[in-house]
């Protein structure tokens, strides 16, 4: 992502992937329509020029792209960051990337279909007006009216009537969200979804100020003072519910070149000066097409998988962390696969593969480094098999997507990014009836357990079910996991308040602070 790495594939392109170019900011102002105009300051001060560095009161953040305030233009994590500073949804992430209550104080559900979301008492917009449950109802209904593909997130969440509302077969008032009173939202889903709180952190669901105004009104830790395409100035929101825990009084975003990365305190997807790597909830792997007559045999898939060491494939590349299973480490419940001493040729022969009936396969991948290089390594490794007739098929990226969507492949380079922090974000695609299941995988036990997990009320029991599901995928050898993607960042050495294992793609300015003393 972030410039969007091209290896994430799904039919909806994982709304997390669209999180960068595709998350939507519900800005709530007519000023959003004119991105070239200057925003009226929330104060009466003239435009502020900030040049100081290493200040305990000023945080400098950068972007290699123009700054934007409309989601349709967002194409990078740096562009997104400003939106997270200005707005706060019902849930959010802490500095370690864990889900936490935000505008919502708590939530309740007895069946995972009907949810009651309780807002914090005394929430206010940046102009001092109260925030109530009806504001969130208004925001979701406005999302339906937006000319953005992100409105499909409402259906992705299983909001009741969302598909019919989006197709304009029902009025927007039929969308499954209502205000019970000023602090309580009732959200109705069309299927049990125990991970709904995690989905509420999506930026598409940020609240939208419901009134026309000349001044930018938001509800996050910061408010907008001034904005242009190359510089934005934010000040601490005096009405934010956690304002006493916000260290920096001012945050300045500015457009920079790759040579200027060290001139700011924090920048995502650092191009030349890199100090850290943050993990993403994204897995890169190769898929077997189980509709292939020979690959339908698990033993054949096992023989091929046994020859691959993900650690060797991605060694010396700090942007890749080797994976031995589908899920990234922060979501894993199952233990690492147990190593077996397998002789691939012998296993293939035991399953009907011989000189008269060789294993004939095509490896499909895209012509982009380093992904082409990884595929070429696989070709060399599998080329050691006398019983394998392997053909390579390098394609343009769009051709790769089309080939996978049409299920016209034997083994194909693929990947997945989570839209929310729960194992089902990865596991759901392997249900036999899931539209993103392009490998013809069908396992009744897997389907039954996945459906059971959605009904399970006890989180610990649900995690145990997830562990079984992960083990089934390992034992069935449906994919060859390769790596988890790591995002390069530049962080000023004086900055603190972030965590290097944060896989949320979000670092809020409100959590950051300066370690050093200044004059």
CATH number at residue 500: 3.40.190.10
153 and 267, same structural domain? no
Residue 284 and residue 342 share a domain: yes
pLDDT-wise least confident of 13-22, 343-352, 469-478: 13-22
Q: To the nearest whole number, what is the mean pLDDT of the chain?
A: 88
Does 265 share its domain with 314?
A: no
Domain containing residue 409: 279-486
Residue 20 lies in a domain: no
Among all chains, which residue has been given the structure tokens 């593969």?
A: 353
Structural domain includes residue 460: yes
Q: Quick one: pLDDT at residue 72?
A: 66
Helical segments of 87-169, H only: 133-145, 153-156, 162-166
Spatial distance between the Cα atoms of 477 and 358, rounded to a whole number of angstroms: 20
Q: Are residues 360 and 473 in the same domain?
A: yes
499 with 405, same domain: the answer is no
Cα–Cα nearest to 379, from 322, 304, 475, 459 = 304
> Which residues neighbour 118 within 8 Å (Cβ) at sequence distance 6 or greater?
104, 105, 106, 107, 108, 183, 184
User: What is residue 456's predicted lDDT score, i.e. its pLDDT?
Assistant: 94
CA distance 270 to 64: 9
What CATH number did the domain enclosing 188 receive? 3.90.76.10
Using the predicted structure, report yes or no on whether residue 182 has a pLDDT greater than 70. yes
> Which of 197, 213, 229 is the C-terminal boundary of a domain?
213
Residue 310 covered by a domain: yes
Residue 475 banded pLDDT, cuts 50, 70, 90: very high
- What span, in angstroms and rounded, lies between the C-alpha atoms of 23 and 197? 17
CA atoms of 369 and 387, how far apart (whole Å): 29
For the stretch 119-140, pLDDT in tens is: 999 999 999 999 999 999 999 9
Dihedral angle sign, alpha carbons of residues 400, 403, 409, 414: positive
**Same domain (yes/no): 497, 481:** no
Give the integer Cα–Cα distance in Å for 162 and 18.
19
Considering the domain architecture, whether residues 238 and 163 belong to the same structural domain is answered as no
Rounded to whole angstroms, the Cα distance separating 45 from 315 reads: 53
Q: Is the peptide bond between 45 and the residue preceding it cis, with omega within 30 degrees of 0?
A: no
If one counts the domains in the chain, the total is 3
Same domain for 72 and 126, yes or no, is no
Residues 312 and 433 grouped into a single domain: yes
The CATH number linked to 286 is 3.10.105.10
Question: Are 385 and 296 in a shared domain?
Answer: yes
Q: Are residues 148 and 234 in the same domain?
A: no
**Does residue 357 lie within any of the structural domains?**
yes
Residue 224 has pLDDT above 80, yes or no: yes
Among the listed residues 16, 25, 30, 29, the one whose alpha carbon sits nearest the alpha carbon of residue 67: 25
Establish if 2 belongs to a structural domain: no
Together in a domain, 267 and 308: no
Of residues 203 and 289, the one with the higher pLDDT is 289
Tell me whether residue 40 is in a domain.
no
Asked if residue 169 lies in contact with residue 155, where contact means CB atoms within 8 angstroms, the answer is no
Q: What is the 3-state secondary structure (H, E, C) of 156-204?
A: HCCECCHHHHHCCCCCHHHCCEEECCCCEEEEEECCCCCCHHHHCCCHH
In a domain? residue 15: no
The reply to whether 201 falls in a domain is yes
* Final residue before a domain boundary, out of 189, 213, 237: 213
């Amino acid at each position: 992502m972030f410039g969007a790495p091209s290896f994430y594939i799904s039919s909806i392109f994982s709304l997390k992937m669209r999180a960068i170019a595709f998350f939507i900011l519900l800005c709530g102002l007519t000023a959003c329509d004119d991105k070239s105009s200057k925003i009226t300051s929330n104060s009466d001060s003239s435009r502020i020029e900030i040049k100081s560095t290493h200040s305990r009161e000023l945080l400098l953040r950068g972007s290699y792209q123009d700054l934007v305030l409309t989601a349709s233009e967002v194409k990078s994590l740096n562009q997104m960051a400003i939106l997270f500073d200005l707005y706060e949804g019902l849930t959010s992430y802490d500095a370690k990337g864990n889900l936490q209550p935000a505008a919502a104080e708590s939530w309740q559900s007895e069946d995972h279909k009907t949810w009651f979301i309780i807002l914090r008492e005394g929430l206010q917009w940046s102009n001092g007006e109260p925030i109530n449950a009806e504001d969130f109802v208004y925001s979701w209904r406005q999302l339906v009216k937006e000319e953005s593909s992100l409105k499909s997130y409402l259906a992705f969440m299983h909001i009741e009537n969302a598909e019919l509302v989006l197709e304009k077969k029902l009025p927007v008032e039929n969308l499954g969200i209502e205000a019970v009173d000023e602090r309580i939202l009732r959200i109705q889903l069309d299927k049990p979804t125990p991970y709904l709180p995690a989905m509420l952190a999506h930026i598409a669901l940020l609240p939208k100020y419901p009134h026309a105004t000349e001044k930018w009104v938001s509800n996050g830790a910061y408010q907008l003072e001034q904005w242009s395409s190359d510089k934005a100035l934010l000040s601490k929101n005096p009405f934010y519910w956690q304002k006493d825990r916000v260290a920096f009084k001012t945050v300045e975003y500015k457009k920079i070149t790759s040579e200027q990365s060290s001139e700011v305190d924090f920048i995502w997807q650092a191009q030349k000066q890199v100090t850290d790597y943050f993990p993403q909830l994204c897995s890169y792997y190769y898929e077997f097409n189980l509709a292939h007559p020979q690959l339908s045999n698990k033993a054949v898939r096992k023989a091929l998988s046994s020859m691959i060491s993900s650690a060797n494939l991605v060694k010396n590349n700090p942007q890749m962390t080797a994976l031995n299973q589908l899920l990234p480490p922060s979501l894993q419940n199952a233990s690492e696969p147990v190593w077996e001493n397998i002789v691939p040729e012998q296993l293939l022969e035991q399953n009907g593969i011989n000189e008269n009936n060789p294993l004939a396969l095509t490896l499909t991948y895209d012509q982009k480094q380093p992904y082409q290089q990884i595929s070429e390594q696989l070709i060399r490794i599998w080329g050691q098999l006398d019983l394998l007739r392997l053909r390579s098929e390098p394609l343009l990226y769009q051709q790769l997507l089309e080939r996978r969507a049409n299920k016209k492949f034997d083994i194909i380079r693929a990947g997945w990014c989570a839209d929310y922090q729960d194992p089902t974000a990865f596991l759901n695609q392997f249900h036999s009836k899931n539209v993103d299941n392009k490998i013809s995988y069908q396992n009744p036990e897997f389907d039954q357990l996945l459906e059971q997990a959605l009904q399970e009320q006890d989180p610990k029991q649900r995690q145990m079910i997830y562990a079984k599901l992960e083990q089934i995928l390992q034992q069935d050898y449906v994919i060859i996991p390769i790596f988890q993607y790591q995002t390069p960042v530049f962080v000023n050495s004086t900055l603190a308040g972030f965590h290097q294992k944060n896989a949320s793609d979000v670092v809020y300015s409100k959590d950051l602070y300066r370690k050093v003393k200044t004059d």
